Amino acid sequence: MISEKFTHFVEYELQAIAIAWMIILYTIKAIQLSRLPMPWEKETKKGNSTKGVMISYASIFMPWAVESSRDHFWRWLGFALYHVGCLVAIVNTFTFTFTPELMTPTVKIVFSILIAPAILIGFLKFIRRLIRPEIRYISTPDDYFSLLSLQLFFFTGIMALLTNTPFWRSSYYIVTAAFLFYVPFSKISHYVYFFFARFLTGKRYGWRGIIPQNTTK
């Protein structure tokens, strides 16, 4: 039997500690990165660095714009659905706790439907990592573990949504907290570094007129 006190602890205090932990670690990492030397462009710009940054960020949503998405549309769609599932599962950790009035049965079903494909895609990603030699070659234990831990996060999320029992709610929040403690150390952190990397590359490409391609005249 799970006590109400325990459920409350994992939903509130534990989450607050885990989020604070994550924020502190990311702040340290951001400071470390910002202290590294960064030789910015000095030559007069040929293009538009602001546009370059915007396109750099937006390109992830434009499968037609990048060959690796365009030529592998189904892979891109899987990637998109997987990340939608991630986003919904994360949003759910907040809405479940802080806005229970919004969590009507319909919303719960919609959230579950959005998260569910991520489980299937996660499974396919896992299989791909195992059977494709070029992917297996670059895979580390962290890659497999990160995938499996996300599977657990999605699964407990759906179970919590559909059953709303103290057991599944607590499981979901314990998995979430464990996840938050681990994420700053793992490759799952790419969602934070993504913004740094795409900014730097987009700025340079924009400045030099590489994106958008300089077709003036």
Positions touching other proteins (CB under 8 A) are: 25, 29, 32-34, 36-44, 46-47, 56, 60, 66-69, 71-72, 75, 79, 132-143, 145, 184-190, 193-194, 196-198, 200-202, 208-211, 213-215, 217
**Which of 102, 133 has the CB closer to other proteins?**
133
In the bound complex, what is the minimum distance in angstroms from residue 209's beta carbon to other proteins? Answer: 3
In the bound complex, what is the minimum distance in angstroms from residue 90's beta carbon to other proteins? Answer: 17
In the bound complex, what is the minimum distance in angstroms from residue 11's beta carbon to other proteins? Answer: 27
Helix, strand or coil, per DSSP, at residue 26? helix
- Which residues neighbour 35 within 8 Å (Cβ) at sequence distance 6 or greater? none
Rounded Cα distance between 202 and 66, Å, is 14
**Which of 123, 196 has the CB closer to other proteins?**
196
**Which of 8, 45 has the CB closer to other proteins?**
45
Q: How far is CA 173 from CA 59, 126, 207, in A?
A: 33, 24, 45
Token readout for 135 is: 């992917």
Q: In whole angstroms, what separates CA 207 from the centre of its chain?
A: 28
Rounded Cα distance between 8 and 142, Å, is 31
In the bound complex, what is the minimum distance in angstroms from residue 32's beta carbon to other proteins? Answer: 8
In the bound complex, what is the minimum distance in angstroms from residue 94's beta carbon to other proteins? Answer: 24
- Which residues neighbour 19 within 8 Å (Cβ) at sequence distance 6 or greater? 180
**Which of 6, 57 has the CB closer to other proteins?**
57
**Which of 78, 161 has the CB closer to other proteins?**
78
Angle between helices 141-163 and 73-98 (to 10 degrees): 50
